Amino acid sequence: MEYLLLFLLSAIGWVNGVLFLLYHLVRGKLRQLTTQLGLLLLGLFLIRVGVSCVYFFEGRIPWAWVQVGLSAHYLIGPTLWAYVRVTLSKVPSEVWVRQRGYLLFHAILILGLGLTYSFPNHPAIWDYYVRYTLHALVTFYLVATGLQLWSTLKRVLSPTLRISAPETRFFFAWVMTVAVCLGFVVSLYVSYVLGPVIASVLFYATAVLGFTRSKQVRKVWYTPPKDPPLHNAASQQLEQELQQLIQVEKRHLEAGYTLAQLANELGVPSTKVSQWINTQHGVNFREYLNKLRIEEAQLLLREKPQLTVEGVGYEVGYQSKSTFFAAFKKQTGETPAAYQRRIRSTSEGPWSSP
């Protein structure tokens, strides 16, 4: 009975994790760097947990599988670090350029080690040296990431401060990573199935939290006053969280982004968000969304001249070329192509010639 319970907790949790990953891959909304890194982190977890499940319940598996599982475990640390760094950055694309190099370095390092000293040919090296070194390196990254999240950790522990939706997501990503990796460390001395069981329990807990976050969880951390005036502290808090979603998450660049989605992220009724945008910015939600997208489009046209005008429109959330052109001209007074030509002619002025 105990054996069956362990199987249900670990294996079924792993299957649900795979289905969750496939669901987001099939949806195709992978343009945001934070989404891509989050799914990569989940994929590495699933590889590590899957190999551990098979190893525990089957007793013997090919050594190459164990090598794959340990390699995935090693990459969890650098991937979590990159995920948090990109998420916290105000310009994720610039940070990603550097973090991408770090991830590539670690991937080449562990791949080179596996090809030079493969587990099937050198099991003693992997079992007595590499395994413990990997745990030490992952621990280093977990501590470093925790230091990056120190301000968020203090907000979580405070009974009066409120944390935003993006902070909630990467905070729980860090907690899950710490708990699962700690489970695998303890499993070296207790039972190897401990890591998969902890991963499954945390997966279910996070799923429940995801469904209830906008209602129950936020009520625990913060109870907004009834009908607060838009000029008080609640309005300032709303502005801060909105800027977090815009500058960090870049949610406004997702195609089909709606007022209801924004309100859910902020944990505030749609009518209140709409009223606040109208009062603070003098426009409705759709006009405000277009304003943010066109500002981002102008930035891309200036800093990424290799992109086509149509490509820029797609990057900032427009699914139609005509809609993008109309919104751009309405806000700037010129078409995207004209704006791009003017920027190029300015950058190629006589002062730039030898």
Question: How far is the C-alpha of 63 from the C-alpha of 25, rounded, in Å?
Answer: 29
Q: Where are the alpha helices (DSSP H) in the chain?
A: 2-7, 13-27, 33-58, 63-88, 92-116, 123-125, 131-148, 150-157, 165-187, 194-212, 218-221, 233-244, 259-266, 270-281, 285-303, 309-315, 321-332, 336-347
Q: Which two tokens stand for residue 294?
A: 């066109």
User: Which amino acid, residue 289?
Assistant: L
Tell me the DSSP string of 173-198: HHHHHHHHHHHHHHHTTS-TTHHHHH
Please name which of 44, 50, 46 lies closest in space to residue 107, comparing C-alpha atoms.
44
Q: Which residues contact 335 (CB under 8 A, 6 or more apart)?
A: 325, 328, 329
Residue type (1 letter), 287: E
pLDDT for res 220: 39
Please calculate the CA angle 326-340-255 and round it to the nearest 5 degrees. 45
Domain ranges of the chain: 2-221, 226-282, 295-346
How much is the pLDDT for 270?
Answer: 84
pLDDT in tens, the chain (354 residues): 555 666 666 667 677 778 877 877 777 655 667 778 878 888 888 888 777 777 766 667 788 888 888 898 889 888 888 887 877 766 666 777 788 888 899 999 999 988 998 888 888 888 778 888 888 888 888 888 878 777 666 666 665 555 555 566 666 667 777 766 666 666 655 555 555 566 666 655 555 454 444 443 344 344 444 444 445 566 777 777 777 777 777 878 888 888 888 888 777 788 888 888 888 888 888 898 899 999 999 988 888 878 888 888 888 888 888 889 999 998 888 988 888 888 877 765 544 433
Confidence (pLDDT) at 105: 92
Burial 36-60 (b: 16+ CB within 10 A, else e): ebbebbbbbbbbbbbbbbbbbbeee
- What separation in angstroms does the CA of 248 have from each of 47, 239, 243? 29, 14, 8
Range 2-221 classified under CATH 1.20.1070.10 = yes
What was the pLDDT predicted at 112?
92
Q: What is the pLDDT of residue 62?
A: 82
Q: Quote the pLDDT of residue 216.
A: 39
Q: What is the reported pLDDT for 351?
A: 41
Q: Which residues contact 135 (CB under 8 A, 6 or more apart)?
A: 73, 181, 184, 185, 188
> Taking the CA of residue 187 as centre, how many other CA atoms within 13 Å lie in the half-sphere pointing to its CB?
22
Measured distance CA(294)–CA(329) in Å, rounded: 9
- For the 295-346 domain, the top CATH level (class) is mainly alpha
Tokens of 199: 């991963």
pLDDT at residue 354, rounded to an integer = 37
In the three-class reduction of DSSP (H, G, I as helix; E, B as strand; rest coil), residue 250 is classed as: coil
